[in-house]
Structure 1
Amino acid sequence: MRRDQRPYFIRRIQDGLNKFYVNRFIAPAFDALGTHPDITSPRNVEIWGGGISAGANLHLHASKGNMVRLATWRSGDREGRIEIGDHVLISPGTHIVASERIVIGSNTMIASGCYISDSDWHDTYDRTAELEKHRPIHIGENVWLGVRVIVGKGVTIGENSIVGAGSVVVSDIPPNCIAAGNPARVVRELDMSREFRKRSALFADPDRLERDMDNLMRYILRENTLLSWLRSVFSPTRSD
């Protein structure tokens, strides 16, 4: 498809069904979920295990063929925890799996296909057990993980830092820098004389934001009709 062919009222119906699905099946899977979550393609989201919480304005975007998975593992008396701050973006194909504890700071952006795990899941020599191959992960506020970044056990990534696409993070990344590579290393310091504009700025007035997005959607879809949408579904052409 070259563009969204749905008429506005069909888009509204589908959005309403998605919200119902989120409220009925996704939100109860969290221990706590803040206000105004935005979860796209919720049938491609899996929340598994206890101890998972997220703050306000969580943007959790899955897509067909790119499931988002948040999962915790129980081992004896220990249950993993995933703690996500406010205004966090999690993109399609990302998996976050905790045996102990993973903390993701507010305003963090996680691009598509990232993998974050605080455990190796198997010991080096005893391949049948995890043993002590787990250590917590802490991702600071306003961090940006590029596409397909892997974050391993015991890592701390400092606030404001950026990790380049495809990097493998196996040791701490300090705050206010850009890191890249396998293993990821600091390649540049950020200019701290410049002011950061964080994702929280988008949500200063969430009700107004929702109205503005609805008006934009209404404008973009204004020329679409039910008949043209049905034709594009059942008999698409190059113009669709």
Structure 2
Amino acid sequence: MRRERRPYYIRRLQGAWVRFQTKHFLVPAFDEAGPGLAVSSPRNVEVFGGNIRIGTCVHLNAAVGNMIRLCTWTTDGREGRITLGDYVLVSPGTHIVASESITIGSNTMIASGCYISDSDWHDTYDRTRELDKHAPIVIGENAWLGVRVIVGKGVTIGENSIIGAGSVVTKDIPANCIAAGNPARVLRQLDPERPIRKRSELFAEPERIEQDMDRLMRYLLRENTLWGWLRSVFFPTRED
């Protein structure tokens, strides 16, 4: 589709259905889930295992064919843990898998297709067991992982740091820098004189933002009709 063809009330109904799915099917899968959880496609979010906690206003932007997976495993009596802080953004296709502990700080942004795992899952010589091939991951507040970043076991990424697309992070990255490569290395420092706006600022007045977005959608979709939408679904043309 080249444009949004749904009538305003259809979009509202579909939005209500997504919120129901999120609250009824997804939220109970977490040990804790703060208010304001927004999920674009609840059926494409997989939460497996216990000890998975998320904070306030977390956004899980899954998509068809690009599932988000948050998984913990129990190995040798040890159960993994995943903790996402407030205002975290997780984009389509990202997998976060914990054998021990993965902590992601508030305001962190994770782009599409990232893989974060605190374990190698198999020993180098004993391919039947994990043994000691695991170590906690800590991603600091307001970090930003680019598309298809891989974060390996035992890594700490400092607050505000940016990891370039396609990077493989195998060693600690300090705070307030830009790093990239395979393995990732620091390219430059962020300017300490320039302030950084965080995602939390988007939610300073959540009710007002919701009202503004609703008015915007009502305006943008004002000319859409039920027939026009159905026609675009079943008999699309280049105009759609």
Scaled by the length of structure 2, the TM-score of the pair is 0.99
Count matched residues. Answer: 240
Counterpart in the other structure of 1:185: 185
Counterpart in the other structure of 2:118: 118
Distance in 2 separating the partners of 1:6 and 1:118: 42
Where 1:124 maps in the other structure, the secondary structure is coil
Counterpart in the other structure of 1:158: 158
Equivalent residue letter for 1:217: M
The gaps in structure 1 that reach 5 residues or longer are: none
Distance in 2 separating the partners of 1:23 and 1:174: 37
TM alignment of 1:131-170, pairs within 5 A: 131-170=131-170
Q: Deviations over 1:59-92 (max 9, x none)?
A: 1000011000000001132110000000000000
Equivalent residue letter for 1:137: I
Equivalent residue letter for 1:54: I
Where 1:3 maps in the other structure, the secondary structure is coil
Distance in 2 separating the partners of 1:181 and 1:70: 25
Counterpart in the other structure of 1:39: 39
Distance in 1 separating the partners of 2:34 and 2:117: 23
Counterpart in the other structure of 1:78: 78
Q: Deviations over 1:157-182 (max 9, x none)?
A: 00000000000000000000000000
Equivalent residue letter for 2:14: Q
Where 1:71 maps in the other structure, the secondary structure is strand
Counterpart in the other structure of 2:208: 208
Counterpart in the other structure of 2:26: 26
Counterpart in the other structure of 1:65: 65
Structure 1 residue 171 and structure 2 residue 164: aligned?
Answer: no
Distance in 2 separating the partners of 1:71 and 1:42: 16
Distance in 2 separating the partners of 1:182 and 1:113: 16
Counterpart in the other structure of 2:96: 96
Distance in 1 separating the partners of 2:54 and 2:99: 17
Q: CA offset at residue 187 of structure 1?
A: 0.3
Q: CA offset at residue 212 of structure 1?
A: 1.4
Where 2:25 maps in the other structure, the secondary structure is helix
Q: Deviations over 1:103-147 (max 9, x none)?
A: 000000000000000000000000111011000000000000000
Q: Deviations over 1:20-46 (max 9, x none)?
A: 111111000011111111100111110
Where 1:215 maps in the other structure, the secondary structure is helix
Distance in 2 separating the partners of 1:99 and 1:195: 36
Where 2:187 maps in the other structure, the secondary structure is strand
The gaps in structure 2 that reach 5 residues or longer are: none
Distance in 2 separating the partners of 1:181 and 1:228: 48
Q: Deviations over 1:43-65 (max 9, x none)?
A: 11100000000100001000011
Scaled by the length of structure 1, the TM-score of the pair is 0.99
Distance in 1 separating the partners of 2:189 and 2:142: 15
Distance in 2 separating the partners of 1:216 and 1:54: 29
Where 1:138 maps in the other structure, the secondary structure is strand
